[in-house]
Structure 1
Amino acid sequence: MNNASGKIGEDYAANHLKDKGYRIAARNYHSRYGEIDIIAENKEFIVFAEVKTRDKNYEVSPLEAVSPGKQKKIGKTALLYLQSNPTDLQPRFDVIGITTDTDCKILSIEHIENAFPVSGFY
Protein backbone atom coordinates (compact mmCIF):
# COMPACT_ATOMS: atom_id res chain seq x y z
CA MET A 1 0.00 0.00 0.00
CA ASN A 2 1.18 3.50 -0.68
CA ASN A 3 0.10 6.74 0.96
CA ALA A 4 -2.29 7.57 -1.89
CA SER A 5 -4.18 4.28 -1.62
CA GLY A 6 -4.28 4.61 2.17
CA LYS A 7 -5.84 8.07 1.90
CA ILE A 8 -8.33 6.81 -0.69
CA GLY A 9 -9.26 3.93 1.61
CA GLU A 10 -9.66 6.17 4.66
CA ASP A 11 -11.83 8.62 2.71
CA TYR A 12 -13.99 5.75 1.46
CA ALA A 13 -14.29 4.31 4.99
CA ALA A 14 -15.26 7.72 6.42
CA ASN A 15 -17.99 8.07 3.79
CA HIS A 16 -19.14 4.51 4.54
CA LEU A 17 -19.52 5.41 8.23
CA LYS A 18 -21.38 8.63 7.37
CA ASP A 19 -23.74 6.62 5.15
CA LYS A 20 -24.44 4.39 8.16
CA GLY A 21 -25.42 7.42 10.25
CA TYR A 22 -22.16 8.15 12.06
CA ARG A 23 -20.69 11.59 12.65
CA ILE A 24 -16.95 11.76 12.09
CA ALA A 25 -15.44 13.25 15.27
CA ALA A 26 -11.77 12.98 14.26
CA ARG A 27 -9.46 11.56 11.62
CA ASN A 28 -5.84 10.53 12.04
CA TYR A 29 -5.89 11.19 15.79
CA HIS A 30 -2.35 10.89 17.15
CA SER A 31 -1.03 10.14 20.62
CA ARG A 32 2.35 9.07 21.91
CA TYR A 33 1.13 5.47 21.50
CA GLY A 34 0.01 5.66 17.91
CA GLU A 35 -2.77 6.78 15.62
CA ILE A 36 -6.46 6.07 15.17
CA ASP A 37 -7.61 6.46 11.58
CA ILE A 38 -11.23 7.45 12.23
CA ILE A 39 -13.19 8.28 15.36
CA ALA A 40 -16.93 8.30 14.71
CA GLU A 41 -20.07 8.56 16.83
CA ASN A 42 -23.69 7.62 16.60
CA LYS A 43 -26.40 7.68 19.29
CA GLU A 44 -24.99 4.61 21.04
CA PHE A 45 -21.29 4.17 20.23
CA ILE A 46 -18.04 6.02 19.88
CA VAL A 47 -16.17 4.00 17.29
CA PHE A 48 -12.41 3.87 16.99
CA ALA A 49 -11.88 2.56 13.47
CA GLU A 50 -8.69 1.17 12.03
CA VAL A 51 -8.72 1.28 8.23
CA LYS A 52 -6.56 -1.13 6.26
CA THR A 53 -6.33 -0.69 2.51
CA ARG A 54 -4.75 -3.44 0.48
CA ASP A 55 -4.27 -4.32 -3.16
CA LYS A 56 -6.28 -7.38 -4.21
CA ASN A 57 -3.02 -9.30 -4.76
CA TYR A 58 -1.63 -8.59 -1.28
CA GLU A 59 -0.85 -11.78 0.64
CA VAL A 60 -2.47 -10.71 3.92
CA SER A 61 -6.08 -9.56 4.02
CA PRO A 62 -6.71 -6.06 5.34
CA LEU A 63 -8.43 -7.45 8.42
CA GLU A 64 -5.54 -9.77 9.30
CA ALA A 65 -3.17 -6.80 9.32
CA VAL A 66 -4.38 -5.48 12.71
CA SER A 67 -2.02 -7.31 15.05
CA PRO A 68 -2.49 -7.65 18.83
CA GLY A 69 0.26 -5.05 19.27
CA LYS A 70 -1.57 -2.62 16.99
CA GLN A 71 -4.80 -3.30 18.88
CA LYS A 72 -3.11 -2.39 22.16
CA LYS A 73 -1.76 0.87 20.71
CA ILE A 74 -5.23 1.76 19.41
CA GLY A 75 -6.71 1.01 22.82
CA LYS A 76 -4.22 3.24 24.64
CA THR A 77 -4.71 6.03 22.11
CA ALA A 78 -8.50 5.71 22.46
CA LEU A 79 -8.20 5.98 26.24
CA LEU A 80 -6.21 9.21 25.89
CA TYR A 81 -8.81 10.54 23.45
CA LEU A 82 -11.63 9.75 25.90
CA GLN A 83 -9.76 11.43 28.76
CA SER A 84 -9.71 14.64 26.70
CA ASN A 85 -13.16 14.14 25.17
CA PRO A 86 -15.45 12.58 27.81
CA THR A 87 -18.59 10.87 26.51
CA ASP A 88 -21.37 8.63 27.76
CA LEU A 89 -21.19 6.64 24.52
CA GLN A 90 -20.04 3.01 24.58
CA PRO A 91 -16.55 2.64 23.04
CA ARG A 92 -16.16 0.14 20.23
CA PHE A 93 -13.21 -0.88 18.09
CA ASP A 94 -13.94 -1.56 14.44
CA VAL A 95 -11.74 -2.60 11.56
CA ILE A 96 -12.60 -1.52 8.05
CA GLY A 97 -10.85 -3.43 5.29
CA ILE A 98 -10.70 -1.88 1.84
CA THR A 99 -9.56 -3.90 -1.16
CA THR A 100 -8.41 -2.09 -4.29
CA ASP A 101 -7.18 -3.03 -7.71
CA THR A 102 -3.72 -2.01 -8.91
CA ASP A 103 -5.08 1.41 -10.00
CA CYS A 104 -6.41 2.14 -6.46
CA LYS A 105 -10.02 1.58 -7.58
CA ILE A 106 -12.14 0.35 -4.65
CA LEU A 107 -13.21 -3.25 -5.17
CA SER A 108 -14.73 -4.05 -1.79
CA ILE A 109 -15.22 -2.90 1.78
CA GLU A 110 -15.58 -5.10 4.83
CA HIS A 111 -16.60 -3.43 8.08
CA ILE A 112 -16.12 -5.55 11.19
CA GLU A 113 -17.88 -3.99 14.16
CA ASN A 114 -16.46 -4.74 17.62
CA ALA A 115 -13.48 -6.36 15.91
CA PHE A 116 -11.38 -6.65 19.06
CA PRO A 117 -11.78 -6.13 22.82
CA VAL A 118 -10.85 -2.92 24.57
CA SER A 119 -7.51 -4.34 25.75
CA GLY A 120 -5.85 -0.94 25.97
CA PHE A 121 -8.32 0.07 28.66
CA TYR A 122 -6.87 -2.30 31.28
Structure 2
Amino acid sequence: MARRNSADPPNPERVAAFGLGLSAESRAAAYLVAKGYRIAARRFRSPVGEVDIVARRGRVLVFVEVKARATLDAAAESLQTRQQRRIAAAAAAWLSLNPHDIDKDIRFDAVLVAPGKIPRHIPAAFEAE
Protein backbone atom coordinates (compact mmCIF):
# COMPACT_ATOMS: atom_id res chain seq x y z
CA MET A 1 0.00 0.00 0.00
CA ALA A 2 1.48 3.33 -1.05
CA ARG A 3 1.79 6.02 1.53
CA ARG A 4 -0.16 9.17 0.88
CA ASN A 5 1.89 12.31 0.36
CA SER A 6 0.70 15.05 2.70
CA ALA A 7 0.32 17.35 -0.33
CA ASP A 8 -2.09 14.90 -2.03
CA PRO A 9 -5.80 15.53 -1.52
CA PRO A 10 -7.45 13.03 0.85
CA ASN A 11 -9.21 10.04 -0.67
CA PRO A 12 -12.98 10.78 -0.48
CA GLU A 13 -13.82 7.16 0.35
CA ARG A 14 -11.39 7.16 3.27
CA VAL A 15 -12.74 10.49 4.54
CA ALA A 16 -16.30 9.14 4.38
CA ALA A 17 -15.29 5.90 6.11
CA PHE A 18 -13.51 7.85 8.86
CA GLY A 19 -16.63 9.99 9.46
CA LEU A 20 -18.84 6.91 9.50
CA GLY A 21 -16.51 5.28 12.02
CA LEU A 22 -16.59 8.29 14.34
CA SER A 23 -20.37 8.42 14.15
CA ALA A 24 -20.64 4.69 14.89
CA GLU A 25 -18.27 5.02 17.85
CA SER A 26 -20.36 7.89 19.23
CA ARG A 27 -23.55 5.82 18.90
CA ALA A 28 -21.85 2.83 20.53
CA ALA A 29 -20.52 4.94 23.42
CA ALA A 30 -23.96 6.48 24.05
CA TYR A 31 -25.52 3.01 23.98
CA LEU A 32 -22.99 1.70 26.52
CA VAL A 33 -23.55 4.70 28.80
CA ALA A 34 -27.30 4.01 28.66
CA LYS A 35 -26.51 0.45 29.79
CA GLY A 36 -24.60 1.73 32.83
CA TYR A 37 -21.01 1.77 31.55
CA ARG A 38 -18.62 4.66 32.13
CA ILE A 39 -16.43 5.53 29.17
CA ALA A 40 -12.77 5.70 30.22
CA ALA A 41 -11.37 6.39 26.74
CA ARG A 42 -12.27 6.53 23.09
CA ARG A 43 -9.86 5.70 20.29
CA PHE A 44 -7.04 4.65 22.60
CA ARG A 45 -3.96 4.25 20.45
CA SER A 46 -0.72 2.50 21.21
CA PRO A 47 2.18 1.42 18.99
CA VAL A 48 0.73 -2.11 18.90
CA GLY A 49 -2.93 -1.37 18.19
CA GLU A 50 -6.03 0.68 18.87
CA VAL A 51 -9.14 0.17 20.98
CA ASP A 52 -12.29 2.01 19.92
CA ILE A 53 -13.76 2.31 23.43
CA VAL A 54 -12.46 1.50 26.91
CA ALA A 55 -15.32 1.34 29.42
CA ARG A 56 -15.90 0.35 33.02
CA ARG A 57 -18.87 -1.04 34.87
CA GLY A 58 -18.35 -2.15 38.42
CA ARG A 59 -15.24 -4.32 38.60
CA VAL A 60 -15.21 -4.99 34.86
CA LEU A 61 -12.91 -3.19 32.43
CA VAL A 62 -14.15 -3.62 28.88
CA PHE A 63 -12.22 -3.11 25.67
CA VAL A 64 -14.79 -2.54 22.93
CA GLU A 65 -14.42 -2.92 19.18
CA VAL A 66 -17.07 -1.00 17.22
CA LYS A 67 -18.06 -2.40 13.84
CA ALA A 68 -20.25 -0.38 11.47
CA ARG A 69 -21.63 -1.93 8.31
CA ALA A 70 -24.80 -1.77 6.22
CA THR A 71 -26.36 -4.54 8.36
CA LEU A 72 -25.76 -5.84 11.87
CA ASP A 73 -24.96 -9.29 10.45
CA ALA A 74 -22.32 -7.83 8.13
CA ALA A 75 -20.84 -5.94 11.08
CA ALA A 76 -20.68 -9.17 13.11
CA GLU A 77 -18.88 -10.97 10.30
CA SER A 78 -16.26 -8.23 9.97
CA LEU A 79 -14.41 -8.81 13.27
CA GLN A 80 -11.26 -10.62 12.17
CA THR A 81 -8.78 -12.65 14.21
CA ARG A 82 -5.94 -10.28 13.27
CA GLN A 83 -7.92 -7.32 14.65
CA GLN A 84 -8.64 -9.24 17.84
CA ARG A 85 -4.90 -9.73 18.39
CA ARG A 86 -4.22 -6.01 17.88
CA ILE A 87 -7.02 -5.07 20.29
CA ALA A 88 -5.63 -7.48 22.89
CA ALA A 89 -2.14 -5.99 22.43
CA ALA A 90 -3.54 -2.48 22.81
CA ALA A 91 -5.38 -3.62 25.95
CA ALA A 92 -2.07 -4.80 27.39
CA ALA A 93 -0.60 -1.38 26.57
CA TRP A 94 -3.57 0.27 28.34
CA LEU A 95 -2.96 -1.84 31.43
CA SER A 96 0.74 -0.95 31.47
CA LEU A 97 -0.21 2.75 31.43
CA ASN A 98 -3.10 2.32 33.90
CA PRO A 99 -1.84 -0.08 36.60
CA HIS A 100 -4.89 0.69 38.80
CA ASP A 101 -6.93 -1.33 36.28
CA ILE A 102 -4.87 -4.52 36.61
CA ASP A 103 -7.09 -5.86 39.40
CA LYS A 104 -10.24 -5.49 37.25
CA ASP A 105 -11.98 -8.29 35.41
CA ILE A 106 -11.05 -7.81 31.75
CA ARG A 107 -13.44 -8.42 28.89
CA PHE A 108 -13.40 -7.89 25.13
CA ASP A 109 -16.77 -6.80 23.73
CA ALA A 110 -18.07 -5.69 20.37
CA VAL A 111 -20.77 -3.19 19.51
CA LEU A 112 -22.32 -3.61 16.09
CA VAL A 113 -23.80 -0.56 14.39
CA ALA A 114 -25.96 -0.34 11.27
CA PRO A 115 -28.06 2.51 9.86
CA GLY A 116 -31.55 2.70 11.33
CA LYS A 117 -30.90 -0.07 13.88
CA ILE A 118 -30.32 -0.04 17.63
CA PRO A 119 -26.67 -0.95 18.24
CA ARG A 120 -26.08 -4.57 19.25
CA HIS A 121 -23.74 -5.08 22.23
CA ILE A 122 -21.96 -8.43 22.34
CA PRO A 123 -20.30 -8.97 25.73
CA ALA A 124 -17.26 -11.25 25.65
CA ALA A 125 -17.24 -11.20 21.83
CA PHE A 126 -13.76 -12.72 21.88
CA GLU A 127 -10.99 -13.72 24.25
CA ALA A 128 -7.38 -12.56 24.19
CA GLU A 129 -4.99 -15.21 23.00
Task: Give the secondary structure class of the aligned counterpart of 2:48.
Answer: coil
Query: In the alignment, does 2:118 pair up with 1:116?
Result: no
Amino acid at match of 2:77: E
How far apart are the structure 2 equivalents of 1:36 and 1:4? Answer: 17
> Where do 5+ consecutive residues of structure 1 fail to align?
101-105
Q: Which residue of 2 aligns with 1:53?
A: 68
How far apart are the structure 2 equivalents of 1:5 and 1:72? Answer: 23
TM-score normalised by structure 2 residue count: 0.81
Amino acid at match of 2:92: L
How far apart are the structure 2 equivalents of 1:36 and 1:80? Answer: 10
Q: How far apart are residue 11 of structure 1 and its match?
A: 0.3
Query: In the alignment, does 2:120 pair up with 1:107?
Result: no
> Where do 5+ consecutive residues of structure 2 fail to align?
1-15
Q: Which residue of 2 aligns with 1:76?
A: 89
Deviations 1:62-104 (A, max 9, x none): 111111110000001100101110212111000111011xxxx
Among 26, 35, 50, the alignment partner of 1:11 is: 26
Task: Give the secondary structure class of the aligned counterpart of 1:25.
Answer: strand
Task: Give the secondary structure class of the aligned counterpart of 1:108.
Answer: coil
- Segments ≥4 residues shifted beyond 4 Å: none
The alignment covers a number of residue pairs equal to: 112
Q: Which residue of 1 aligns with 2:79?
A: 66
Task: Give the secondary structure class of the aligned counterpart of 2:83.
Answer: helix
How far apart are the structure 1 equivalents of 2:117 and 2:23? Answer: 12
Query: In the alignment, does 2:112 pair up with 1:97?
Result: yes
Task: Give the secondary structure class of the aligned counterpart of 1:51.
Answer: strand
RMSD: 1.6
Q: Which has the larger radius of gyration?
A: 2
Query: In the alignment, does 2:48 pair up with 1:33?
Result: yes
TM-score normalised by structure 1 residue count: 0.85
Identity across the alignment (%): 36
Task: Give the secondary structure class of the aligned counterpart of 1:114.
Answer: strand
Q: How far apart are residue 33 of structure 1 and its match?
A: 1.5
